[in-house]
Amino acid sequence: MPSIEHIQYVKAPIEQVFAALTTQAGLAAVWTDNLSVTPEVGAINSFAFGSGKPDRMKVVELVPGRRQLWHCLDSDPEWIGTEISFDLEPRKGKVAVTLKQEKWRAVTEFYRFCNYNWGVFLLSLKGYCEDGKGIPYQDRKF
């Protein structure tokens, strides 16, 4: 099955990068400020973009400073059932962040647009962790 796979290197303490990816405040700055997040295994986080129904992501794994895995319960039909993982690893004074969205059924136009947007997500993560300023959905141009 097709997957989306990125890596980005962030110059910040690993705990800070992990918090940016797992907490309400972090994901508000990095992804969308219309969200409800609980950093606990089994929690169902929700993220809204524009006027559509919120995406709902179940937290399946959460290993502090190491890994987070979400299972997508609700979103665009192409996203439902996909798994989104964030793996962190110290690397030469930075944190290597590997982001994957796996179990796509096909490489479609929406896959390509999401692939682009995950790149912007990681740029936003880097900006937020290194300079205090992310690029959440509300600040992006489409």
Kindly list the residues in this chain that would bind a copy of itself in the complex (CB under 8 A): 4-9, 98, 107, 109, 111-113, 115-120, 122-123, 126, 130, 141-142
The pair of structure tokens assigned to 38 is 């609980």
Residues facing residue 70 across a β-bridge: 59, 84
Tokens describing residue 63:
């290993």
In the block, tokens 């609700």 appear at 74
d(CA 140, CA 8): 19
Contact criterion met (CB below 8 Å) for 10 and 125: yes
* Interatomic CA distance for residues 25 and 137, integer angstroms: 14
Least separation in angstroms between residue 24's CB and a copy of itself is: 25
- Indicate the residue among 74 and 130 with the shorter CB distance to a copy of itself: 130
Q: How far is the CB of 38 from a copy of itself (least distance, A)?
A: 28
Nearer to a copy of itself, 24 or 115 (CB): 115
- CB 133, min distance to a copy of itself, A: 12
Q: Which is nearer to a copy of itself, 10 or 72 (CB)?
A: 10
Nearer to a copy of itself, 81 or 127 (CB): 127
Name the one residue in this structure whose structure tokens are 């992006």: 140
